[in-house]
Amino acid sequence: MAVIDLANPTRFLRIVDRILPWLIAATVALFAVGLYRALNAPDDYQQGATVRIMFLHVPAAWLGMFGWALMSVAALGTLVWRHPLADVSGKAVAPIGAAFTFICLVTGSLWGRPTWGTYWVWDARLTSMLVLLLLYLGVLALYWTAEDPGRGARAAAILSLVGAVNLPIIKFSVDWWNTLHQPASVFRTGGSTIDPSLLTPLLIMALAFTLLFVTLHLAVMRNEILRRRIRSMRLMQAQEVHA
């Protein structure tokens, strides 16, 4: 199916209505397997049972960054390609990505307390993730407070592209600066440094959270399209009344 086919909101809604039940079922099934594997994973020899925070923290971090990358692509669709659904996609991603980034910071703080002896340090990775959350809140503010939805969407798209500079900073902060945060341990040139008994449930949970992200994104996009249609109908009715 060509991307241009999805430019038609009506066709897009039909596709979403068809695949959402399958996505929900797959998400629930993966979470059931992932949680079972995570709860039965062995304790870490240094961190003990607290290592299980990883099964929530790491996927949340990945998806917080993925959400902003998706918003940047949607911003290009809004500003350059003028795709009818690009703005809808960007607006739908923003609260989901913000939620995962917030979860990442909270779980990171809880994990840091027994590991580092404190809930927060101005570590390069932690600080750049906090900046990402603030950027998400800025985009949400532009969408929610703009009197002209079109102008708010363009401003949010510009901020999305500018904020994309923070993504490589987050990714490579542990390599560029001397930080408390551990370096990459899952996807690295020499292979993962995590034992398979912990790596397997981590990857299953990451896939489950990714499916949850996609499911929420499509559902929110559908609701946003319907909301805009209702708004357009009300505006048309108001114009007819005043005509």
Residue 45 structure tokens: 């020899």
Min mean pLDDT across 41-45, 136-140, 185-189, 190-194 is at 185-189
Distances (CA, A) of 108 to 114, 130, 153, 182: 11, 11, 32, 12
Each residue's pLDDT tens digit, 39-60: 998 887 777 788 899 999 999 9
Is residue 84's pLDDT more than 70?
A: yes
Q: Which residues pair with 44 in a beta bridge?
A: 48
Each residue's pLDDT tens digit, 102-156: 999 999 999 888 877 888 888 888 899 999 999 999 999 999 888 787 888 999 9
* Residue 182 dihedral angles phi and psi, to the nearest 5°: -70, 150
| Angle of helix 149-163 versus helix 86-116 axis, rounded to 10 | 40
Distances (CA, A) of 129 to 53, 54, 79, 83, 170: 17, 16, 26, 30, 7
| Spatial CA neighbour of 104 closest among 53, 153, 35, 154 | 53
Instruction: Report the C-alpha gap between 95 and 90 in whole angstroms.
Output: 10
